[in-house]
């Protein structure tokens, strides 16, 4: 499971007004699973990300792409010790590809 502050922030915005217990019940998972996501731990199982999105009334495709983007960012930083500029350039390319992918799905 990768850790990302951005993912955590997105999760916290999405769950506003819902308890961990409510979300866990909708997802069919433990409250701990939801808690882990709220702390920025990105599940490696994208099905779990999609279930979370559905439970909080969000677009599952967008959440899967977010999770993949944030996981990629975490992995690149850990593996390659990239500078902030290099990281920004890589993320811009990835975000552009994701935007095009989402447009194609609509």
Number of structural domains in the chain:
1
In whole angstroms, what is the distance from residue 30 CA to residue 86 CA? Answer: 38
Q: Which residues pair with 42 in a beta bridge?
A: 2
Count CB atoms within 10 A of the CB of residue 71: 20
| Mean pLDDT of all residues belonging to the chain | 83
Average pLDDT of the residues in 39-55: 88
Range of the domain at 15: 5-81
Kindly report which listed range (1-5, 47-51, 68-72, 94-98) carries the lowest average pLDDT score. Answer: 1-5
Q: What pLDDT digit, counting tens, does each position of 50-93 carry?
A: 999 999 999 999 988 888 888 777 777 676 676 778 777 877 88
In a domain? residue 92: no
In a domain? residue 93: no
In a domain? residue 90: no
In a domain? residue 72: yes
In a domain? residue 105: no
In angstroms, the Cα distances linking 39 to 3, 28, 83, 87, 104 are 8, 19, 25, 23, 32
In a domain? residue 63: yes
Q: Which two tokens stand for residue 102?
A: 């989402």
CATH of residue 14: 1.10.260.40
pTM over 0.75: no
Count CB atoms within 10 A of the CB of residue 93: 10
In a domain? residue 97: no
């Amino acid at each position: 499971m990768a850790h990302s502050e951005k993912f955590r922030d997105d999760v916290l915005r999405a769950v506003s007004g819902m308890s961990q217990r409510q979300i866990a019940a909708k997802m069919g998972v433990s409250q701990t699973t939801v808690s882990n996501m709220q702390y920025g731990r990105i599940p490696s199982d994208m099905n779990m990300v999609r279930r979370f999105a559905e439970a909080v009334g969000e677009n599952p495709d967008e959440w899967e792409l977010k999770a993949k983007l944030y996981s990629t960012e975490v992995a690149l930083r850990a593996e390659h010790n990239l500078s902030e500029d290099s990281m920004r350039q890589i993320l811009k390319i990835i975000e552009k590809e994701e935007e095009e992918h989402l447009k194609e799905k609509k």
